[in-house]
Structure 1
């Protein structure tokens, strides 16, 4: 009977940890300070390439074997998807678009804001 009580206590603590341990779906919400998203110097060569690389976009959407026929490993291809609205629709999980990353959670709000800023700036090749 004594072992039963310890097992129950352990299971209760384990469940409590599982319930409270997942407060967020993305790193930004877990580790970033609110209001630290700086979109004042967004560039294609720095900001956009970093997001596409770090989020694995280029792995699935490279020219060698582009998933869904979407290529995101060159400026011209990214600009084409950005100007058509497909890029923002996919990363914001908007209705009518295939949500990206496929099968994953949305990229951070700061990354979305950075991509939107680049698009709003006219998708420059900088």
Structure 2
């Protein structure tokens, strides 16, 4: 009987520790390491760096016809719902970043907070 209890205990410990960090993405680690700041989110203070990969890319860079290289252009995409739809990978939206991993929930929440605060430029 003690053998069975010991076996079950060992099996339980192995199962618990087999769930290692391999299933945690870099974005999840980043989010766990720092608290997500959703107060005083501005374009210049927060959003510009989140969208920086889009601004210099062939997707939304200068001359693409889909520019998002400054506050006015980013605000226009946000106002029509395209930024959040794409970041959340909602149906009928091309996922952003294109061919990349989904942004951390913190960054998506910061974009949402910026929109909810009526797009402060800062």
Give the TM interval when normalised to the shorter protein: 0.7 to 0.9
Equivalence for 1:29: 28
Structure 1 residues 33 and 85: CA distance shift in structure 2, 3 A: same
Q: Aligned-residue CA RMSD in angstroms?
A: 2.0
Matched, 1:73 2:72: no
Residues in 2 aligned to 1:81 and 1:32: alpha-carbon distance in whole angstroms: 25
Deviation, 1:24, is: 2.6
Which consecutive unaligned segments of at least 5 residues does structure 2 have? 1-18
Q: Which runs of 5+ in 1 are unaligned?
A: 1-18
Question: 2:114 is matched with which residue?
Answer: 118
Partner of 2:6: none
Counterparts of residues 1-126 of structure 1 (less than 5 Å) = 22-25=22-25, 27-33=26-32, 36-53=35-52, 56-60=53-57, 61-64=60-63, 66=64, 69-126=65-122
Residues 21, 33 of structure 1: CA spacing in aligned structure 2 closer, same or farther, 3 A cutoff? closer
TM-score (norm 1): 0.72
TM-fit CA distance, 1:57: 1.1
The alignment's TM-score, normalised by the length of structure 2, stands at 0.74
- Kindly report structure 1 stretches of 4+ aligned residues shifted beyond 6 Å: none
